[in-house]
Amino acid sequence: MSAPKLYRHPTKSEIIDLAAAEGHDADISSNLGWIPDKSHNTSARPSISLNEDKDHVAAVDKDIENGHGPGSASSIDEPEEEAGHDPNIVDFDGPGDPLNPMNWKASKKWGMVALISAITFLTPLASSQFAPGVPEVMRDFHSTNELLEGFMVSVYVLGFAFGPLIIAPLSEMYGRLPLYHSCNLLFIIFTIAAALATNMGMFITFRFFMGCFGGAPMVLGGGTIADLIPREQRGTAMAVWMMGPTIGPCVGPIIGGFLTQAKGWRWNFWFVAIVGGAFFIMSLILMSETSGIIILQRKTNRLKAETGNTKLRSKLDSGLSPADLFKFSIVRPTKMLFRSTICFAISLYVAITYSYLYILFTTFTAVFTSQYGWHGGMVGLSFLGLGVGSLIGQFVYIHFGNKIVHKHMQRGDFRPEHRLYIMTIGGFFIPIGLFMYGWSVQKGTHYMVPIVATGIIGFGLLMTFMPATTYLVDVFTIHAASAMAASTVLRSLMAAVIPLSSQTMYAQMGYGWGNSMLGFIALALVPIPFLFIKYGERIRASSTVKL
């Protein structure tokens, strides 16, 4: 790679892309810097506070949805103004600086990417791996409570809602590596605790904390890959990394079905703990800190000690206090969720359909055991349709979604709503799959019919999740990470709570009408992307969200 390309001043779109991958807003420092507050002097250290003056709030308001601020499409690729040279600013020593993770050996960089992708596959896999063993857990803990039967699976996702809100700001303060190591270790500890649990209360509590700490690689992984791999080579690494959250929850029960039959339900947790322990040892040996913010801060501290110059400061130091980082991480997503029409509607769509995934996870064992007489390891194979459908959906979206966007970019008329064209198609697959699945099970048709139906559901889910996420990034630009955090929290909360009533729903309505009701709700959500394609630009032009 040539030096000018690596070290030219970053464009706003590059800063926004990296910030979204790192899991924070673009007005917080990242490896490419930050988008400064235009209402203040850009040569000064940027300082962001929730108690902004009225003029600054007005400036920020315009940047949230309506596309007229510094993160708007009209100015998205304009480079920031170069600040004058300051001898007290500490930066990397030129394009070949070995401290820069981009200059590390290829074997070290791709080794870290492979390890992070493996961990990101394992932790979502653990969310559902023991699902086929739920009846054994209920029997061992002498429980017949149907709410707990579903909650013991979905409580893991509840941890996903809360863990990242703490992990993200801590990684900005202390770096990615300490968070990887501490969260991986705590994940293993609570996995072992779940394997040794002696009552339902202990088991559910340990499952919750597994989810809290298991979410770390999904929060940190995108940023680590962006730290190491140049933009033009990043697609493959990101695609492999993203397969973890997509395929892991569907592959887990297939492993869990046979493992439960052979060794009992507790061995699902021993399996995760053993594999997680191996990954943890490998990470201690192979992983290094990749955050440019932390690397330059350490260099700054070292130079201060050597030179006695207390005025030295890192080029990537945004001046944010730890308190501000926590406020942005927790308060901003909440405000965006309830004050932004676009964020709320898209997040609600994703949350409801995502909860269907965990309704299926928590009921597949009972459905295929009672309706088809499957037992032991065979029950895990009932999840195969969801996994294959999700994988196909991911590849179809990547191909056709990018094709649509590139076409409009070449025309010069691209707007965020073009991301939703794929979502309008994907939305119809979810109700179709639910109707087909419910009535095929109800009527006792051949087992391949509901398996194919769940594949259609998985395909539809991926074809709605992925465009919805990229749409939020394009709409909210510099505050994209907060919008995605808002969506993640709502999605995880609903996925943990809604499945609790699934067994009662099927008992009262049957599999046919029960899934039909879910299908009708999904059908009622289908117009949302159509409405935003038609009115989204107008909504953005008239919306302000005070952060």
- Degrees (nearest 5) of the Cα angle 421, 390, 486? 65
Lowest mean pLDDT across 71-85, 160-174, 388-402:
71-85
- Confidence (pLDDT) at 546: 65
In 257-321, beta strands by DSSP E:
313-314
**pTM attached to this predicted model:** 0.82
pLDDT, tens only, 434-472: 999 999 999 999 999 999 999 999 999 999 998 998 898
Which DSSP symbol is given to 46? P
The tokens of 130 are what?
A: 């023991």
Residues 230 and 371 reside in one and the same domain: no
Residues 391 and 485 reside in one and the same domain: yes
Longest dimension (CA), the chain: 80
Taking the alpha carbons of 390, 391, 397, 402 in that order, is the dihedral positive or negative?
Answer: positive
- Show which of 265, 287, 309 is a domain's final residue: 287
Is 260 inside any structural domain? yes
For residue 395, pLDDT beyond 90: no
Please enumerate in sequence order all residues whose Cβ is within 8 A of that of 179, keeping only pairs 6 or more positions apart, or say none: 167, 170, 171, 216, 220
The overall average pLDDT reported for the chain is 82
d(CA 64, CA 514): 39
Which residue would you say has higher pLDDT here, 312 or 35?
312
pLDDT, tens only, 176-229: 899 999 999 999 999 999 999 999 999 999 999 999 999 888 888 888 888 888
For residue 77, pLDDT beyond 50: no
Which residue, 263, 281, 248, 227, is CA-closest to 113?
Answer: 227
Please enumerate in sequence order all residues whose Cβ is within 8 A of that of 120, keeping only pairs 6 or more positions apart, or say none: 217, 218, 221, 241, 244, 245, 248
Strands 313-314 and 89-90: parallel
Please enumerate in sequence order all residues whose Cβ is within 8 A of that of 103, keeping only pairs 6 or more positions apart, or say none: 95, 96, 97
Instruction: Provide mean pLDDT across the span 77-84.
Output: 45
Taking the alpha carbons of 139, 505, 365, 273 in that order, is the dihedral positive or negative?
Answer: negative
Identify the three-state secondary structure at position 345: helix
d(CA 241, CA 459): 19
| Residue 79: pLDDT band with limits 50, 70, 90 | very low
- Confidence (pLDDT) at 50: 31
For residue 111, how many other CB atoms are within 10 A of its CB? 16
The tokens of 181 are what?
A: 């190591």
Residues 125 and 235 reside in one and the same domain: yes
Residues 333 and 272 reside in one and the same domain: no
Lowest mean pLDDT across 15-19, 484-488, 518-522:
15-19
Identify the three-state secondary structure at position 11: strand
Taking the alpha carbons of 461, 545, 293, 280 in that order, is the dihedral positive or negative?
Answer: negative
Which residue would you say has higher pLDDT here, 486 or 78?
486
Which residue, 62, 52, 114, 351, is CA-closest to 244?
Answer: 114
Is 296 inside any structural domain? no
**Radius of gyration of the CA atoms of the chain, in A:** 24
Half-sphere exposure of 113 (CA within 13 A, CB side): 26
Which residue, 131, 293, 127, 154, is CA-closest to 217?
Answer: 127
Alpha-carbon dihedral of residues 115, 117, 121, 122, nearest 10 degrees?
A: 20
Residues 238 and 339 reside in one and the same domain: no
Which residue would you say has higher pLDDT here, 1 or 482?
482
Residues 259 and 381 reside in one and the same domain: no
Is 300 inside any structural domain? no
Residues 344 and 239 reside in one and the same domain: no
Contact, 299 vs 99, CB < 8 A?
yes
- Confidence (pLDDT) at 9: 62
- Confidence (pLDDT) at 57: 34
Instruction: Tell me the residue range of the domain where 202 lies.
Output: 105-287
- Degrees (nearest 5) of the Cα angle 271, 275, 280? 140
Is 11 inside any structural domain? no
The tokens of 455 are what?
A: 């594949």
Is 88 inside any structural domain? no
- Confidence (pLDDT) at 41: 39
- Show which of 240, 271, 287 is a domain's final residue: 287
Judged on CB neighbours under 10 Å (0-12, 13-18, 19+), 87 is exposed
For residue 83, pLDDT beyond 70: no
Is 125 inside any structural domain? yes
Which residue would you say has higher pLDDT here, 439 or 169?
439
Is 302 inside any structural domain? no
Which amino acid is located at 329 in the chain? S
CATH of the domain at 371: 1.20.1250.20
- Show which of 242, 268, 287 is a domain's final residue: 287
For residue 307, how many other CB atoms are within 10 A of its CB? 9
For residue 392, how many other CB atoms are within 10 A of its CB? 16
Instruction: Provide mean pLDDT across the span 393-410.
Output: 86
Residues 282 and 344 reside in one and the same domain: no
Residues 344 and 490 reside in one and the same domain: yes
Exposure string (b/e) for 14-50, b if CB count within 10 Å is 16 or more?
bbbbbbbbbbbbbbbbbbbbbbbbeeeeeeeebebee
For residue 67, pLDDT beyond 60: no
Residues 417 and 506 reside in one and the same domain: yes
Residues 269 and 169 reside in one and the same domain: yes
The tokens of 348 are what?
A: 């609600």
Which residue, 447, 440, 438, 409, is CA-closest to 519?
Answer: 438
Exposure string (b/e) for 495-526, b if CB count within 10 Å is 16 or more?
bbbbbbebbebbeeeebbbbbbebbeebbebb
Residues 340 and 241 reside in one and the same domain: no
- Degrees (nearest 5) of the Cα angle 503, 509, 515? 75
For residue 232, pLDDT beyond 70: no
Contact, 450 vs 437, CB < 8 A?
yes
The helix or strand, by DSSP H or E, that contains position 369, with its residue range, turns out to be: helix 341-372
Instruction: Provide mean pLDDT across the span 342-364.
Output: 92
For residue 107, pLDDT beyond 80: yes
Which residue would you say has higher pLDDT here, 61 or 54?
61
d(CA 94, CA 113): 25
Is 396 inside any structural domain? yes
- Confidence (pLDDT) at 68: 40
User: In the chain, how many domains are there?
Assistant: 2
Lowest mean pLDDT across 49-63, 118-132, 279-293, 481-495:
49-63
| Residue 421: pLDDT band with limits 50, 70, 90 | very high
